[in-house]
Amino acid sequence: MLKTIKIVLVASLAILLMGTPMVQAVSQGENLSRSRIVSGLRAAFSVALTASGETILLDEDKALFLSELKGSLVFVPLHPSYWPRVEEFLKAMDEGQEVTAPVGGLYVIEPVTVRDYQGFNFTLARGPYLLRWAKDKVLIVDQEGNVRGAVPYELKFPNRLREPVVNVDQAGESTVFRVDAPWIWSTPATDGGNAFMHPDMLLDDRHAIAGFAVGVILVVIFVLL
């Protein structure tokens, strides 16, 4: 009887001691899962967007997470329900107002050094950032609303991108990340094939876009040093 009691005690102690590590071991393998990445981004950007004081809807389900030797970056596109608001920003820019239009979110996992659109370098610490189109560049804005730097971009239309795509390449010692982001889809649906578009076209010749394009893609270019 005493032996049985001892066994029960030892077993209960074993359960207590072993239970937690087993749970941890199982959950560690799930760290890389898509749902975990999406949840992590939601949590990070909910704080960042609250701090920015502006309601910007991001589509974390369509996030693009890329890790390679130079660093790990996540691009989060805008949610389609936010595109009409982007068009309002573009209209305001067209009328000469000093505004910038949101492009999406960027999460930097490891600190990276980036070359800006004028050839200068700046660093981005780990954390969430918002990307905003400022006509001649894309601004990278931190949680406090400070512009940390600006990178070049291209506009493309039309192409019904359902999620961001990426093109990573080596340019000398640098690495170039080009992220094509689905941006505005609300213009009439006629397929005119892929084409590059001059930035002024987006603001000054809206009829051309309306007649041509099913959407606008903004290609954000990060040169990592």
157 binds another protein (CB under 8 A): no
The residue within the footprint of another protein, chosen from 54, 68, 136, 204 (CB under 8 A), is 68
Residue 161 buriedness (CB in 10 A; 0-12 / 13-18 / 19+): middle
The residue within the footprint of another protein, chosen from 40, 80, 152, 199 (CB under 8 A), is 40
Query: For the chain, first and last CA: distance in Å?
Result: 71
- Bridge partners for 128 per DSSP: 107
From the CB of 59, what's the least distance to another protein, in Å?
10
No. of helices (H) and no. of strands (E), the chain:
5, 13
Q: Applying CB under 8 A, which part among 38-46, 95-103, 111-119, 201-209 lies near another protein? A: 38-46
**Which long-range contacts does 10-17 make (Cβ < 8 Å, 24+ apart)?**
none
The residue within the footprint of another protein, chosen from 49, 106, 107, 209 (CB under 8 A), is 107
- The smaller minimum CB distance to another protein, of residues 59 and 150, is found at 59
Residue 77's H or E segment, with its range, is strand 71-77
d(Cα 184, Cα 82) in Å, to the nearest integer? Answer: 9
13 binds another protein (CB under 8 A): yes
51 binds another protein (CB under 8 A): no
Q: Applying CB under 8 A, which part among 20-28, 50-58, 135-143, 202-210 lies near another protein? A: 20-28
The residue within the footprint of another protein, chosen from 94, 163, 191, 204 (CB under 8 A), is 163
**Which long-range contacts does 32-41 make (Cβ < 8 Å, 24+ apart)?**
37/63, 37/65, 37/74, 38/63, 41/74, 41/76, 41/105, 41/107
Name the site residues for another protein (rule: CB under 8 A).
Answer: 1-2, 5, 8-9, 11-13, 15-16, 19-20, 23, 28-29, 31-34, 36-37, 39-41, 43-44, 47, 61-69, 71-72, 74, 107, 109-110, 159-170
